[in-house]
């Protein structure tokens, strides 16, 4: 996946949303499409849910049924369908072995997102982590972590960072960090101070706005950590939600769930310290660690 133009998870998402929106626009139910195409209902459902890829011949036929005839649109969707079938070849084998499917998909969306909003309650966001901080977190969660698994996590975070903060056309980022994260002293004072200083450097990048949500804000943080990633370019624009709880993660694009998390982010953003005050708060915590 690293540095490559093809992102199968994103292409699959674009194809299925294009088909679903075209079906809605034509006023057809999934059952009516299945009947017209002589498919099973489960096949239509699984295609629209992104659980299976669609063959080029099937895609051409259903596009004709849904009155999608513009040559550029048809060609574009056929290209996206081709990319969506290349997951096994595009995503590195070691990453497939050691990262969850949802994490792998999120990384693909992060690589092409035009904007993202992140609310973090458990750890510093992966794309802002120093290698030492990442290793300390992983070794805490899994003391006997294998070298190849550790390397896969370190490599994936490094690529995520390049895609979101160091690329030539980086996304617009808004990040809210829950204040207790600054005081967790992960890996010891030296590692944590280095991580906080790196946060300050990142917060001063042109594409990143970083805020700290104070403990006294009184807002509930039971939503865990999550990110809203928005794609504005391509055949289909929209948003996906990446949720990370203590023992599981998931990628969601249900509109009601998206709206709920978007509202949570708006409220936490408004209740957080302004950017400059947030930076000063981080600097103060780093200085306290340096003094230990």
Structure confidence at residue 210 (pLDDT): 97
- Between 266 and 1, whose confidence is greater? 266
Task: Tell me if 8-89 shares its fold with 94-290.
Answer: no
Structure confidence at residue 29 (pLDDT): 97
State the pLDDT confidence band at 171, using cuts at 50, 70 and 90: very high
SS3 31: helix
pLDDT at residue 79 tops 90: yes
Kindly tell me the burial class for residue 49, based on how many C-beta atoms sit within 10 Å of its own C-beta (0-12, 13-18, 19 or more): exposed
Structure confidence at residue 168 (pLDDT): 75
Cα–Cα separations (whole angstroms), residue 42 to 46, 50, 66: 6, 12, 18
Mean pLDDT of 45-62: 94
Q: What's the CATH class of domain 94-290? A: alpha beta
Percentage of the chain modeled with pLDDT above 90: 79
pLDDT at residue 221 tops 70: no
Reported as a single tens digit per residue, the pLDDT across 114-142 is 999 999 988 999 999 999 999 999 999 89
Q: Are strands 115-120 and 172-178 parallel, antiparallel or unpaired?
A: parallel
State the number of CA atoms in the 13 A half-sphere of 163 facing the CB.
25
pLDDT at residue 1 tops 60: no
Structure confidence at residue 87 (pLDDT): 76
Mean pLDDT of 206-216: 93
Q: How far apart are CA 227 and CA 243, in angstroms?
A: 7
Domain boundaries, the chain: 8-89, 94-290
Element (H, E) at 210: strand 208-213
Reported as a single tens digit per residue, the pLDDT across 256-291 is 999 999 999 999 999 999 999 999 999 999 999 998
For 8, the token pair is 């199968």
Task: Convert 211-238 into a string of H (helix), E (strand) and C (coil).
Answer: EEECHHHCCCCCCCEEEEEEECCCCCCE
- Between 276 and 90, whose confidence is greater? 276
Structure confidence at residue 217 (pLDDT): 81
Reported as a single tens digit per residue, the pLDDT across 137-165 is 999 989 999 999 999 999 999 999 988 87
Structure confidence at residue 220 (pLDDT): 63
Mean pLDDT of 194-200: 97
Q: How far apart are CA 178 and CA 120, in angstroms?
A: 6
Q: Are strands 208-213 and 172-178 parallel, antiparallel or unpaired?
A: parallel
Q: What's the CATH class of domain 8-89? A: mainly alpha
* b/e per residue 90-112 (b: at least 16 CB within 10 A): bbbeebeebbeebbbbbbbbbbb
- Between 223 and 55, whose confidence is greater? 55
pLDDT at residue 5 tops 70: no
pTM: 0.89
Structure confidence at residue 17 (pLDDT): 92
Structure confidence at residue 211 (pLDDT): 97
Structure confidence at residue 214 (pLDDT): 94
């Amino acid at each position: 996946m690293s540095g490559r133009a093809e992102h199968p998870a994103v292409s699959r998402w674009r194809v299925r949303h294009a088909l679903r929106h075209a079906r809605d626009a034509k006023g057809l139910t999934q059952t009516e499409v299945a009947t017209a195409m002589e498919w099973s209902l489960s096949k239509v459902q699984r295609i629209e849910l992104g659980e299976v890829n669609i063959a080029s011949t099937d895609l051409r036929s259903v596009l004709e049924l849904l009155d999608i005839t513009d040559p550029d649109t048809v060609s574009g969707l056929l290209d996206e369908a081709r990319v969506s079938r290349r997951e096994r070849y595009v995503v590195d084998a070691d990453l497939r072995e050691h990262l969850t499917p949802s994490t792998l998909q999120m990384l693909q969306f992060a690589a092409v997102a035009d904007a993202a909003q992140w609310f973090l309650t458990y750890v510093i966001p992966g794309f802002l982590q120093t290698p030492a901080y990442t290793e300390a977190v992983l070794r805490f969660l899994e003391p006997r972590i294998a070298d190849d698994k550790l390397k896969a996590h370190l490599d994936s975070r490094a690529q995520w960072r390049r895609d979101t903060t160091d690329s030539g056309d980086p996304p617009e980022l808004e990040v809210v960090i829950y204040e207790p994260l600054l005081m967790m002293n992960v890996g010891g004072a030296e590692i944590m101070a280095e991580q906080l200083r790196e946060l300050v450097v990142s917060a001063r990048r042109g594409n990143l706005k970083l805020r700290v949500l104070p403990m006294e804000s009184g807002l509930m943080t039971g939503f865990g950590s999550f990110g809203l990633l928005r794609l504005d370019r391509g055949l289909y624009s929209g948003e996906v939600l990446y949720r990370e709880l203590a023992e599981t993660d998931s990628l969601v694009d249900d509109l009601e769930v998206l709206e709920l998390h978007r509202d949570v982010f708006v409220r936490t953003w408004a209740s957080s310290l302004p950017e400059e005050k947030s930076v000063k708060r981080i600097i103060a915590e780093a200085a306290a660690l340096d003094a230990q």
